[in-house]
């Protein structure tokens, strides 16, 4: 669970960086290239890439960058948690356990925010469906259809009239649906009605209702990602301006003013009546967007017709795949190679921390810091190397008996004591899973067992805070900076 939360935090950060970068580039380009404001594909591609950078982080990573996994047995075992009191505060703050608490906090915050955003979205869609179902179906063929200009509408399109004071909109529920209002019929001329209907038909022809719904779901799941929300809004603005251009291409240029007046009335109606109601699926809500659209309609300058750009989407897919190769780049300098269990079937008989000295000598029953974990196993049980490294010591060491010390790099060392037999020599490079020795009871020991210590930058660290001794799966250790 902790490893999933760690990846959630990392993917959230990556998506923010990707979203901010792509949005900044597009906004700067749009200031110099006005036609970019009506080309929907770059904005949609940027939004998809931002969302993909979040999702792809949960895919299996490359072999040289395994997924982050952390364990927290110290949080679930009272004896180990109490033992941490003997560790310096600075070490606790730098430990993966502290990071894990932050990961868990962000997991809860993200889950609550996503639940609220998704609930609002589902509620809005339910209201939309309810509105359409209560409307009056109109024939999409015949004289009325010709008057409204829907004779060339998409196949199987439904035409619905509602009494509410709303601007017309297109939706996919799941069939294509054009929703008109009695307010529109009463307040617009027939010419204006036909122009507005043409605008909504362009949305249906380009499947914009599904596009907007996808943007809404992405923004709801990544509610914290303000660049994604901004990209979704700019994409919707581009959808609107793109449909405006399509209408202007097909209509008499003299109708520009009538079209501008019709759009201004409907946009004002949406802004004053519905605010951010999801029913107003294609209506932008800020003054700048209103001004740009009306100016664009009256200007009469049409940019080159833009078709679906295969190269652009290929670049987007390539960027997404590139992000999926190394989703842990932000923590690459902190992630070390995975540890495996040195004795997978052994039991923990003594944990890290203060304990009474078990050996019957002058220190018997006096509390001392137990610098590692004792793993009980039968004499002669093979001990495997948890992680590749170089043997820096192999020999007898007083009360610890036969000892092997391995340097794993990045300031991480492990010590194996009370061995019955050592099978590696000083200076030897050992591979993960290689047998380093056999369990014994040499030195001062009460019975056959392995005493295993973990050192980080010269200081002892509780192995149970980083390695799950009750699981056989490998985990990762975060090296201290």
DSSP state string for 227-267: HHHHHHHHHHHHHHHHHHHHHHHHS-GGGHHHHHHHHHHHH
Contact yes or no for 336/328 (Cβ under 8 A): no
Lowest pLDDT segment from 45-59, 223-237, 320-334, 467-481: 467-481
What CATH number should be reported for the domain holding residue 366?
A: 2.70.70.10
**Per-residue confidence at 88, pLDDT binned at 50, 70, 90?**
very low
Do 300 and 423 belong to one domain?
no
Is a pLDDT exceeding 70 seen at residue 415? yes
Q: CA nearest 476: which of 61, 11, 81, 80?
A: 61
Is a pLDDT exceeding 60 seen at residue 241? yes
Do 444 and 299 belong to one domain?
no
Do 363 and 447 belong to one domain?
yes
Q: Give, as one character, the DSSP assignment of residue 475.
A: B
Contacts of 481 (CB under 8 A, 6+ apart): 94, 334
Do 254 and 193 belong to one domain?
yes
Domain containing residue 453: 347-465
Long-range Cβ contacts of 391-398 (<8 Å, 24+ apart): 391/424, 391/425, 391/426, 391/427, 391/428, 391/429, 391/430, 391/436, 392/426, 393/426, 394/422, 394/424, 394/425, 394/426, 394/428, 395/422, 395/426, 396/442, 397/443, 398/443
Mean pLDDT of the 187-195 span: 83
Q: Residue 11: exposed, middle, or buried by beta-carbon count in 10 A (0-12, 13-18, 19+)?
A: buried
Q: Give, as one character, the DSSP assignment of residue 329.
A: G
Say whether 395 sits in a helix, a strand or coil.
strand
Q: Residue 294: exposed, middle, or buried by beta-carbon count in 10 A (0-12, 13-18, 19+)?
A: middle
135-182 per-position pLDDT tens digit: 898 887 777 777 777 766 777 888 888 888 777 888 877 788 888 888
Contact yes or no for 313/45 (Cβ under 8 A): yes
Do 174 and 244 belong to one domain?
yes
Out of 304, 321, 337, pick the residue that ends a domain. Answer: 304
Number of domains in the chain: 2
Is a pLDDT exceeding 70 seen at residue 345? yes
Do 142 and 257 belong to one domain?
yes
d(CA 137, CA 149): 16
Asked, for residue 388, whether it belongs to a domain, the answer is yes
Do 287 and 150 belong to one domain?
yes
Is a pLDDT exceeding 80 seen at residue 432? yes
Out of 270, 304, 338, pick the residue that ends a domain. Answer: 304
Provide the mean pLDDT of the chain: 75
- Say what the pLDDT of residue 473 is: 37
HSE value, Cβ hemisphere, 13 Å, CA-based, for 32:
4
Asked, for residue 111, whether it belongs to a domain, the answer is no
- DSSP labels, 116-177: HHHHHHHHHHHHHHHHHHHSEEE-SSSHHHHHHT-TTPPTT-EEEEE-SS---EEEESSSEE
- Say what the pLDDT of residue 407 is: 94
Asked, for residue 420, whether it belongs to a domain, the answer is yes
Asked, for residue 185, whether it belongs to a domain, the answer is yes
Q: Give, as one character, the DSSP assignment of residue 277.
A: -
- Say what the pLDDT of residue 252 is: 67
Out of 304, 328, 358, pick the residue that ends a domain. Answer: 304
Do 216 and 270 belong to one domain?
yes
Cis peptide before 174 (omega within 30 of 0): yes
d(CA 210, CA 216): 10
- Say what the pLDDT of residue 464 is: 74
Mean pLDDT of the 175-191 span: 84
Do 367 and 277 belong to one domain?
no
Asked, for residue 258, whether it belongs to a domain, the answer is yes
- Say what the pLDDT of residue 479 is: 37
Pairing between strand 412-422 and 402-409? antiparallel
Do 160 and 255 belong to one domain?
yes
124-136 per-position pLDDT tens digit: 888 888 888 888 9
Asked, for residue 323, whether it belongs to a domain, the answer is no
Asked, for residue 102, whether it belongs to a domain, the answer is no
Do 373 and 428 belong to one domain?
yes
Do 262 and 360 belong to one domain?
no
Contact yes or no for 273/166 (Cβ under 8 A): yes
Asked, for residue 158, whether it belongs to a domain, the answer is yes
Long-range Cβ contacts of 258-261 (<8 Å, 24+ apart): 258/189, 258/191, 258/192, 258/195, 259/192, 259/195, 259/297, 260/294, 260/297, 260/298, 261/192
């Amino acid at each position: 669970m902790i490893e999933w939360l760690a990846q959630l935090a990392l993917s959230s950060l990556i998506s923010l960086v990707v979203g901010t970068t792509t949005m900044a580039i597009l906004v700067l380009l749009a200031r110099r290239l006005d036609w970019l404001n009506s080309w929907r594909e770059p904005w949609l591609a940027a939004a998809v890439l931002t969302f993909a950078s979040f999702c792809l982080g949960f895919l299996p990573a490359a072999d040289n960058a395994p997924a982050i996994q952390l364990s927290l047995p110290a949080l679930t075992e009272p004896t180990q948690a109490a033992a941490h009191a003997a560790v310096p505060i600075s070490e606790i703050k730098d430990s993966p356990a502290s990071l894990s608490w932050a990961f868990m906090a962000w997991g809860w915050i993200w889950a609550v925010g996503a639940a609220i955003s998704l609930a609002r979205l589902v509620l809005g869609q339910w209201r939309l469906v309810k509105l359409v179902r209560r409307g009056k179906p109109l024939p999409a063929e015949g004289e009325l259809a010709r008057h409204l200009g829907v004779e060339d509408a998409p196949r199987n399109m439904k035409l619905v009239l509602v009494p509410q004071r709303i601007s017309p909109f297109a939706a996919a529920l799941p069939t294509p649906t054009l929703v008109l209002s009695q307010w529109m019929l009463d307040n617009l001329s027939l010419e204006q009605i036909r122009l507005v209907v043409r605008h909504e038909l362009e949305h249906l022809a380009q499947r914009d209702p599904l596009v907007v719904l996808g943007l809404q779901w992405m923004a709801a799941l990544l509610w914290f990602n303000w660049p994604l929300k901004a990209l979704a809004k700019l994409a919707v603005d581009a959808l609107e301006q793109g449909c405006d251009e399509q209408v202007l291409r097909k209509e008499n240029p003299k109708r520009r003013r009538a079209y501008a007046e019709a759009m201004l009335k409907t946009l004002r109606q949406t802004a004053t009546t519905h605010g951010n109601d999801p029913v107003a699926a294609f209506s932008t809500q800020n003054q700048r967007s209103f001004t740009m659209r009306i100016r664009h309609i009256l200007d009469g300058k049409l940019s080159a017709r833009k078709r679906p750009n295969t190269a652009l989407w290929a670049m987007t897919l390539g960027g997404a795949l590139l992000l999926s190769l190394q989703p842990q780049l932000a923590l690459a300098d902190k992630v070390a190679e995975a540890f495996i269990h040195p004795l997978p079937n052994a039991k923990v008989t003594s944990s890290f921390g203060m304990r009474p000295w078990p050996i019957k000598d002058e220190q018997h029953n006096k509390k001392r810091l137990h610098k590692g974990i004792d793993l009980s196993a039968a004499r002669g049980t093979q001990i495997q190397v948890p992680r590749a490294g170089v043997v820096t010591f192999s020999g007898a060491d007083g009360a610890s008996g036969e000892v092997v010390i391995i340097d794993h790099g990045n300031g991480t060392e492990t010590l194996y004591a009370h061995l019955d037999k050592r099978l590696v020599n000083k200076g030897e490079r050992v591979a993960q899973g290689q047998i380093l020795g056999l369990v014994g009871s040499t030195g001062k020991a009460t019975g056959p067992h392995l005493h295993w210590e973990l050192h980080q930058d010269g200081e002892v660290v509780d192995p149970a805070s980083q390695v799950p001794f009750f699981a056989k799966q490998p985990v990762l250790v975060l090296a201290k900076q």
